[in-house]
Amino acid sequence: MNTKISITKLKKSFGKLDVLKGINLDLSVGSIHALLGPNGSGKSTLIKCLLGMVIPESGEILIDGKKVNGSWEYRKSIGYMPQIAHFPENMRIRELISMIKNIRNQPSLEEKFIRLLRLEDALNKALKTLSGGTRQKVNALLALMFDSPILIFDEATVGLDPVTRLHFKQHLLKEKEAGKTIILVSHFINEVEELADEIVFILEGRIFFQGSLFELKSQTKEENLEKVIAEILEKNGQEKLEYV
């Protein structure tokens, strides 16, 4: 299988704090990669490096074999759904969609995802009036509507109603079947078990484990993923850190 994203010896510090300590990671196409680890492990910094929001001190990121360090064009190949989206509060949903389309200047599938996320009746509402769940739907819409080959979701289903959550997860599996590279950050253990082809567990700025859920359970001799995570943290002196 071809590698879509390849990260080599990636390092990033903030002052005296070493956050990424030489990350080596290959993420293949047609797979959902669950990025797990406790708070402060380096997950967010790694994602921000991929997005070009944080510049690493050293190391290399390749997408389709091309270096992205110092580039910006590659960002058009990424759909990103942050955990918390900050929107211009006075804009209406329809106006926000139009603005993002103008910025991206790419073919858009917004009508498909407006239906999928059941946003038809909310398009003329101002963003400041939206409930948390509806804002999350708008967040998902902006991440999905450009048919990007790389998708990054940070706690994507938090706040979604059960029906929308089900449709969203079903669509994620379709995106995987279409050959996309998907990175999923989630604290919902059952969601990780249901969707992920691969677990990438980051601990103190290093890749602690990369492999299938079966391999991780076999390594720790635990059948329950929550117990697996607890065992990893306890054995590595992280029992007081919150897992996310």
Tokens of 38: 């406790």
The rounded distance, in Å, linking the Cα atoms of 144 and 89 is 21
pLDDT at 237: 63
Cα gap 105→36, rounded to integer Å: 33
Average pLDDT over residues 215-242: 73
Q: Does 143 have pLDDT greater than 90?
A: yes
Domain spanning 3-235, CATH class: alpha beta
Per DSSP, what are the bridge partners of residue 116?
none
Contact present, 42 and 19 (Cβ < 8 Å): yes
What is the reported pLDDT for 242? 45
pLDDT higher than 70, residue 71: yes
pLDDT of 1 reads 41
Residue range 171-196: average pLDDT? 92
Q: Are 99 and 46 in contact (CB under 8 A)?
A: no
Residue 226 predicted with pLDDT over 90? no
Lowest mean pLDDT among 98-102, 148-152, 212-216, 236-240: 236-240
Predicted confidence at residue 173, as pLDDT, reads 95
pLDDT tens digits, one per residue of 97-134: 999 999 999 999 999 999 999 999 999 999 999 999 99
DSSP E strands, 75-116: 78-81
* Token pair for 184: 């999923």
Q: What percent of the chain has pLDDT over 70?
A: 95
